[in-house]
Structure 1
Amino acid sequence: MDRIIRVWNPYLPGKPTGMLKSHTAPVIYIHVSAEDNKIFSMSMDNTVKIWDLETYSCLFTASSKASGIKGELASCLYLPNSRALYVATDTVALLHLRLRCPPEPHLVVSHREPVVCCRYNPAFQQVVSCSEASEVKVWDFETGRLLSEFIGAHGNAGITCLTFDSSGRRLVTGGRDGCLKIWSYNNGHCLHTLKHDEKQSEVCDCTYLEVNQNKCIIAVGWDRRINMYFDAPHDFHHFWKPQPHWKDDLNHGHQEDILCVAQCPPFLLATSSYDGEIIIWNVVSGHMYCKLNTPRSSEGTKEREDPDRSVSCLAFLKTRAVKFETTAASLMANGAQGSVTFWRLFGSACPMANFTPSTNKAQVSSMAVTAGDALAYVADQEGFVHVYDIKEYGLQGSELHAPTKAMFWRAHVNMVTSLELIEERVLLSASLDRTVRLWSPEGECIGTFGQNSPWDIFTPDSWSHPRVPCEILTDPQSMPAHPVLAGGVSARLTRKEEGDDVTEEKAGAKPEKTFYSPGDSTLEVEVKADIHQRLLLEQDKASRRTPEPGWPSVYQTLRCHEVACVSALGEKPDLSIIGSDLFNLNFLTQEKEGSETPQREH
C-alpha cells in the first residue's frame, strides 16, 4: 500500500537490500524474470513498470491508455525468448518489448526512431520527416537546422506516408490507424482527420492530386481500395467527406493490399499491390486503363522459391507518358529479388526491360527520376544509391541489358525509405538508420539533418564532403571484400567511363583521379588503406572535440613516489627536524615569523 517494492536477501531478513520507488498508486502484482534480471510490477492506476534487478532502477513505464490496454490490470507474464509481456485484464494484451540501442556518441542521427518518410516543401524551402514513433520534424533545407517538431501525430500508431497540398501550407500524413490527418505543421495543429466509416485499415501511401481545378487526396492501403477525399475549402460541411469508390475499383480492382500510388498529370494514376499487380487508372472517369502483372525474377522459378512479388515503388517517366508513346517505356517499378522493370503502357502494355541494380539482389526500396527522364536514382534495402542513364533507354523496344550505370555510393547503413530530387541539384534521402541526409547529384555528402555544424546549401565548402559519415565508412558492407562491392569497385563513389570498365574514387575535395582495372590486385589494399586513414582522421577529430561542460579540458599527470614510513600508526611524528608542529594551530603564524630565515630548497 505504500507504493514501494522491497528487495530482500533471504539470509539477511532484518533490512531490505533495495527499495524501488516510482509507483504513484498501491502495487498489486509483481512478476520476476530471472532470465533477464528484471522485475515487472503493476499498480492500481493501471501502470506497468519494468525494473532492473541489478541497479534497482526503473527502465520503462507503460500506461494502459498509451499501450491500448482496456480494463483493470490483474496480472502479467513475461516470456524472455520472444521478449513479450502478456498483461491480463478482461482480455489478454501482448506487448512486444524492443530494446533501443544507445546511440554512439560520435554518430549523428535525425530522429530517435527509424525514419519512415520525408518530403521537401518548395513553398517554404523546408524538409519534413516522420519517424516510427509518430514524430514529425521540420528542418531548414538551406542549413539543416531543426525548426519545429511535434510528437504523437497519430497517437500510438506510426506514420506511414506524407504529402503536401498544392499550396504547400498543409501537411497530409497517413498512419497505421487507417486515418489521414491534415496539419498546419509549423505549429503542430491538426486541422482535419479523414477516415472511412468502415473498419479502419492501415494507410500505405497517399498523394495530393489536382485535375481540372478539382483538388483531392488519394490514399491506398490494406483495405485494397482507392480512397478519394475532395478538397473543397469553400464548403466546410462537405469538407473531406470520403467519395464513393470507383466501379472498376470495386469490380476489377486489386485483390491484395495496395502498397504504392503514383500520379502523372493530367489524369494518369498508378497503383501497385502485394501480389505484384500494377493498375493504371484514369482519375477523371475512374476507369481502369490497363493492368500489369510483374514478371518473375527468372524463368522457371518456382513459386515457393520466389514468394515475394510485391511492388512497393512506382515512378512515371513523365516526358514519355504525357505523349502517349506506344514504343517507349513510361513506367518504372521494383520487383522480386531486387529487380527493376520498365513498362510500356500505351499500345500493348508489356515489360520492356528488367534488371537488378544490386549484385546481391537487395530489394529496391525507393526511386526518383529527373524532370527530363535523363537519370534514374534507385535505392535499395542496404542503403546504396544507384544512378542510371535512361535518356535513350527503352525508347524503341525491349532492352536485353541494364542501362548504363553512371555511379553509385553508400548513402545509409540501412534501408532507404525515401528518395527525392530537389530542383535537380540536390538528392534527399531518409533511412531506417534514423538519419535524413542531403547529397549532390554526384554523391557528395552535403550533411545530415541534426548535425551540430550547419551547412550553406549554396556554399560547397561548407558541405561535409569529402568526409564520409563514420557509420558508413566502418560498416562491413562498405568494405571492398564484401559481395555487394565485388568486382573491384570502391565503397565511396564509383563512376563508369563510357566504353571502358574503369573506376574512379573520390577521396578529397580536389582528388587525384586514380584509375583501377577490375582485376587489379592492389585495389583492395589501397582502398583499405584509404579507409584506415579516414578512420584515423575521424578519431583524431573526435579526440579534439570540445569537452562536455563541467569537465576539465586538460588532465594533469600523476606520478608515483615512494614514501618512507617514519613512525608507527597512531604516534605523533617527530617534527623537530623542521622546527615546527604541523598540528599546532599557530603553524601559519610561526611560518610567517620565520620568513626572514633562508628558504629551504624543496
Structure 2
Amino acid sequence: MPQYNKLIVATGNRELQLYEVSNLEPYCQLGGLEALPLKLDYCYMDPDKCLILYGDDQGCVNLLFLTSVGELLRTWKKLPRVGNMPHLGIHNAVTSANVSYIRWKVHGDWVTQLNYYDSIKAVISSSNHDPTALVIGCTVGTTNVKQKMKEIGDVRKKVKARKGQASLGSSQRRARCDQTVFRIYKGVTAFSFCKRNNLLLTGGMDRVIRVWNPYLPGKPTGMLKSHLAPVIYIHISAEDNKIFSMSSDNTVKIWDLETYSCLFTAPSKASGIKGDRAACLYLPRPRALCVASDAVALLRLRLRSAPEPRLVVSHKEPVVCCGYNPAFRHVVSCSEASVVKVWDFDSGRLLSEFMGTHGNAGISCLTFDSSGRRLVTGGRDGCLKIWSYNNGHCLHTLQHDTKQSEVCDCTYLEVNQNRYIIAVGWDRRINVYFDAPCDFRHFWKPQPHWQDDLNRGHKEDILCVAECPPSLLATSSYDGEIIIWNVISGHMYCKLNSPAPSEGPADREGPDWSVSCLAFLRTRAATFDAAASLLANGPRGSVTFWRLFGGACLIANVTPSQRKARVSSIAVTADDTLAYMADEEGFLHIYDIKEYGSRGPEPQPPRSVKAWRAHVGVVTCLELTEGGAFLLSASSDRSVRLWSAAGAFVGTFGQRSPWDIFTPASWSHPGVPYEILTHPRSRPAHPALAGVPAAHMGEEQDEPEETSGLLAPGEPLLEAELEEEMSQWMRLRQKQPPQGPREPGWPSIYQALRCHEVAHVSALGERPDLSALGSDPFDLNVLTRERAGREVTREQH
C-alpha cells in the first residue's frame, strides 16, 4: 500500500498483517479469515479508497473494499493487541460502514495467482484445476439485469447479509455472464495480461506458454514451447516488446512479443540461481528480473547495440558451433536462434540456410557422419536430429523417453564396422544411438546404458565428449571430472580430476571447475604411449596435459592467457605437433607440443609459437581443416572466420568481397577485423604504451620488439627519450580540444622525427666528370683518383 506507506503480509495463521514500510514496525492485523490466503494483490482506486484481494486454498477470491482508509487504519491501530500487534477479526471488520467484503467461489483447486486490473475493472485468477484453470470475473455484483432486479427485491435481507458476509460457507458464485472461464490442460500456474496489446499469456505444468485473446477463451492464438520444466512466472513488458518467463528449474527465458521466438535463455548454472521453487518479479524502471530462491538475484536486461556498418558478421545471433565438411568443402555454422548456415569454404559465400531446426530451442552442438552427407545437430530441447543439410530436410530425430535434458555435445564414430552417434548432456548419461541406414523410422531411441555408466559414471552434467579411434572415448563434467571409456566393452578405463589452483582456496562448488573441452593426442593415444595423450581445459584459464597409459597422472598444467581467461576451445594437428588454444576473450595461442610431455612431468610450459586476437567474444569452436593448413574459428561475437595455420587472416564468412583460398593475395591479411582493431584489449603489451588509449595493432605477440611497431629500423630510440616524448605527447593531447573521430587506420601515436642542420651549398653549373665511366667501381685506384679530383676542385673554389 504505497499511498499509505504500509506493507501487507499474508500468514499461515489466516491473518493479514500490516507493517510500516519506513521502519517495518507492526501496525495492525486482520484475523479469523475463512481460509488460508495464498496470493495477494492491492489496488488504489478513488481518493482514500482501495481494494485488497487475496486467493485462498479453497479456490475462493476474497475482496476487501476499504473507504476512508486513512481514518480506518488509525482506528484499527488503537484496537487491543494480540501478541505484538493490534488485532481485529474479519467478522467485526465487515460490520463497519467503510468495509465491504465479497467472497467468490471461483476455482476447484487452490488459487495459484490473482491480479486486479483496473483497466478492465476485473480480477483474473488461476488454479491447477483444468475446468477453471483461469477465470476473468467482475469484482462486485452482477451486471445482468434479471439478476440485478432479484437482488434489489431482496432488500429485507441486506442487513443480515452484511453481518454474515464473513461467516463460514458464505462464498458466492458469479453468474455465467459475469465471468470468462478458460479450460486449460493441467491448469495454470502463472499468467500475465497486457491491455495495450490485448494479450493474455498462461503457463502451467505442461511447460507450454499459451497466448490468448482474453475475449476468446476457446482456443489459444499461439503457443511457446521451449521450457523443460513447469512455468512459474510470466511477464509481458510492452515497453521493451519482450516476454519474460521462468520455469521451476530456475531457467529464465526472454521472448519476442511480436514473433514469439525465444531470444535468450539463461539456465540456472549460468545465472547462478540455485534452490527450490523461486518467486519472481519484473522491475520496469531498472529493467531487471528479481528472483528469490536460496538467495536474491537481480538479472538486468541488456539490449545489444545496433551493429556498426563496418562490422562483418556471419549470423545475427551468437554462433555456438561450426564444422568443416571435407567431402563437399563446406563450412556449416549454427547460432543460438536455431539457424543453420552452409558456407563455401573456397570463397566464404553463403550457399544455403534453414531455420527453426529445434523449434524455439537453440542448437548446442553438431557433427557429420563418416560420409559427410548428413549433419547431426544437438539442441537444448534434449533431441538430436539428422539432416540432409543441403536441402534442410530432417531425416531422423533421436531422443530418449525420460525427461528431455539439454544435449551439450555429440560425436560420430565407427567401431568394428558399426556406426554410432554418441550424445552427452544434462541427463548425466552417455547416450549411444545405433546408426542403421536401413532403419526408416523417424524416431530413434538410444541403446541401453553401459553398466559402468549407471554405477560409476558422472554425478554432474556432462559437458564434452571426445573420441579417439579405435576404442577410446573421453567425457568431462561440470564438477571437473574426466572419465576415459572403452567404447567396445562399455567399461571405464580411468578417472581424472582437475587439479586444484596453485593460488587461492580450493572451492569445488565454484563454476571454474567445469571441464568443457577435450582433445586427444591421437598418435600417442592410439599406440598406448606412456606420454601426455589428452588435453583438457581447467580452472583459472589452465590447460592440463594428462597421461592415460602407464599410470594415469597429470603431466603439465599450462595457462595460455596472462589474464587467466578461461580456455574455451582446443584443436590439435593430426601429427600432434601443434596445439591451438582459444580463450573467452577471443585470443588464439599456438604451442609446439611435438616432444612435450613425452618424457614425464613438465615443469615449464611448451614453446609458444604465436598468439593473436581472432574475436572480441568467446571463441566457441576451433577446427583445423585441409590437413592443418587452415584454422576455422567461431565466436559469440556472431562471426565465423578462417585463418591460415600461421595466423594469417583469410576472411570472415559472409563478407562482401569473397576470397580465393588458393590465392593468398585475395585474403584479408595483413588486415585486421575492425572490431579487433578498435577494442581496448587488443593493445599490444609494451611498457611504453602504458596509459595509451587504444592501439592500432590486432595481434598480441610474446616479444615486445615485435609488437611495438614504433621504432624506426636501423635507428632505435633510447627508452628514456621515448618515455619523455610519450609524456609530452600526452600533455599536448590533454590541452588540445577534441577534433572529432579520426579515420580508422590512423595510428594513435605519431613518431617524433630528428632534425639535423644541413650546410647551404650553392649549385654549380660545371660539367660532370665522365672519366670514371667504364671502369671497375670496386677498383681502389679509381676510387683514389675520384677522391683526389674532388679535393682539387674544392681548393679551386
**TM-score in terms of structure 1 length:** 0.71
Conservation of the 8 A alpha-carbon contact between 2:320 and 2:365: yes
Task: Report the counterpart of residue 408 of structure 1 in structure 2.
Answer: 611
Q: For residue 587 of structure 2, what is the aligned residue in structure 1?
A: 384
Residues 386, 407 of structure 1: 8 Å contact kept: yes
1:178-577 alignment, distance < 5 Å? 178-236=382-440, 240-298=444-502, 301-303=505-507, 308-326=512-530, 328-423=531-626, 424-480=628-684, 491-493=697-699, 503-505=705-707, 522=722, 536=743, 538=745
Q: Secondary structure at the match of 1:201?
A: coil
Check whether the contact 2:613–2:700 (CA below 8 A) recurs between aligned residues: no
State the shift of 1:249 in Å. 0.3
How far did 1:441 drift? 1.3
**3-state secondary structure, aligned to 1:251:** helix
Deviations 1:76-131 (A, max 9, x none): 98532674689xxxxxxxx9966342111111110000000000010100000000
Q: Is the partner of 1:161 in helix, strand or coil?
A: strand
Q: Which amino acid aligns with 1:504?
A: E
Please tell me the residue identity of whatever aligns with 2:625: I
- Provide the rounded CA distance (Å) in 2 between the counterparts of 1:285 and 1:519: 65
Report what 1:550 is aligned to. none
> Residues of 1 paired with 2:195 and 2:645: CA distance?
57
Q: Counterpart of 1:461 in 2: which secondary structure?
A: helix
AA aligned to 1:493 is E
Query: Are the aligned partners of 1:122 and 1:168 in contact in 2 as well (CA < 8 Å)?
Result: yes
Structure 1 pair 193/306, CA: closer, same or farther in 2 (3 Å)?
closer
Assess if the C-alpha contact under 8 Å between 2:696 and 2:745 holds in 1.
no
Q: 1: distance between equivalents of 2:714 and 2:470?
A: 48
Cα gap change, 1:219/1:482 in structure 2, threshold over 3 Å: closer, same or farther? farther
Q: CA deviation at 1:280?
A: 0.3
Cα deviation digits, residues 374-395 of structure 1 (max 9, x gap): 1100000000000001111101
> Whose relative contact order is higher, 1 or 2, with alpha carbons under 8 Å and at least 6 apart?
1
Contact map agreement 1:274 1:310 (CA 8 A) in 2: yes
Cα distance in structure 1, aligned partners of 2:645 and 2:495: 34
Displacement of 1:236: 3.0
Amino acid at match of 2:706: E
Partners of 2:685 and 2:700 within 8 A in 1: no
Structure 1 pair 143–346 and aligned structure 2 pair: CA distance change class (3 A): same
Deviations 1:25-78 (CA, angstroms, capped at 9, x unpaired): xx984269xxxxxxxx98446579865699xxxx9534669799xxxxxxx985
| Corresponding residue number in structure 1 for 2:318 | 114
Name the counterpart of 1:30: 195
Q: Give the match for residue 24 of structure 1.
A: none
How far apart, in 2, do the equivalents of 1:462 and 1:506 lie? 27
3-state DSSP of counterpart to 2:444: coil
- 1-side partners of 2:631 and 2:474: how far apart? 24
C-alpha separation in 2, matches of 1:246 and 1:185:
31
- Give the direction of change, closer, same or farther, for the CA distance of 1:385–1:65 in structure 2 (3 Å limit): closer
Alignment of 1:70-219 (within 5 A): 78-80=282-284, 83=287, 99-219=303-423
Q: Secondary structure at the match of 1:208?
A: strand
SS in 1 for 2:357: coil
1:297: Cα distance to partner?
1.8
Q: What amino acid does structure 1 have at the position aligned with 2:394?
A: C
Q: Is the 8 A contact 1:278 1:292 kept in 2?
A: yes
CA gap of 1:67–1:379, structure 2 versus 1, over 3 A, is closer
**Distance in 2 between the 1:494 and 1:194 partners?**
44
Which residue is 1:599 aligned to?
none
The 1-side partners of 2:612 and 2:571 are apart by: 15
Task: Determine helix, strand or coil for the equivalent of 1:249.
Answer: helix
SS in 2 for 1:219: strand
Structure 2 contact 686–704 (Cα < 8 Å) conserved: no
SS at 2:513 equivalent: coil
Between 417-426 and 230-239, the greater mean CA deviation after superposition: 230-239
C-alpha distance in 2, partners of 1:144/1:387? 24
- Residue 257 of structure 2 corresponds to residue 61 of structure 1: yes
Structure 2: runs of 5+ lacking an equivalent: 1-191, 198-210, 215-219, 223-234, 242-254, 265-279, 291-298, 731-740, 748-797
The residue type equivalent to 2:320 in the other structure is: V
Q: Which amino acid aligns with 1:391?
A: K
Q: Structure 2 CA distance, aligned partners of 1:160 and 1:447?
A: 25
Q: Deviation digits for residues 371-417 of structure 1, max 9, x if unmatched?
A: 11111000000000000011111010100111111110000001000
**Identity between Structure 1 and Structure 2 (%):** 66
- What is the Cα deviation at residue 300 of structure 1? 6.4
Distance 2:427 2:719 in 1: 52
Contact 2:425 2:461 in 1 (8 A): yes
Matched-pair contact (CA < 8 Å) for 1:182–1:192: yes
- Report the CA distance between 1:135 and its aligned residue: 0.5
Query: Distance in 1 between the 2:630 and 2:685 partners?
Result: 30
Secondary structure class of the residue paired with 1:455 = coil
Match of 2:414, as an amino acid?
Answer: E
> Are residues 395 and 516 of structure 1, via their aligned partners in 2, closer, same or farther at CA, if it must alter by over 3 Å?
farther
Q: Secondary structure at the match of 2:512?
A: coil
Q: TM-score, normalised by structure 2?
A: 0.54
Q: Spell out, residue by residue over 1:271-328, the C-alpha distance to the aligned partner (whole angstroms, 9 max, x if none).
A: 00000000000000000000001101216633279652110010000111111112x1
| C-alpha spacing 1:490/1:284, structure 2 compared with 1 (3 Å) | farther
**C-alpha distance 96-176 of structure 1, shift in aligned 2 (>3 A):** farther
- C-alpha displacement at 1:164, in angstroms? 0.4
Residues 64, 414 of structure 1: CA spacing in aligned structure 2 closer, same or farther, 3 A cutoff? closer
Aligned residue identity for 2:698: R
| SS of 1:303 mapped into structure 2 | coil
Structure 2 CA distance for partners of 1:163 and 1:305, relative to 1, 3 Å: closer
How far apart in 2 are the matches of 1:251 and 1:129? 37
What is the CA–CA distance in structure 2 between the aligned matches of 1:405 and 1:275, rounded to whole Å? 29
Structure 1 unaligned regions, length at least 5: 1-26, 33-40, 69-75, 87-94, 541-602
Query: Displacement, 1:490?
Result: 9.3
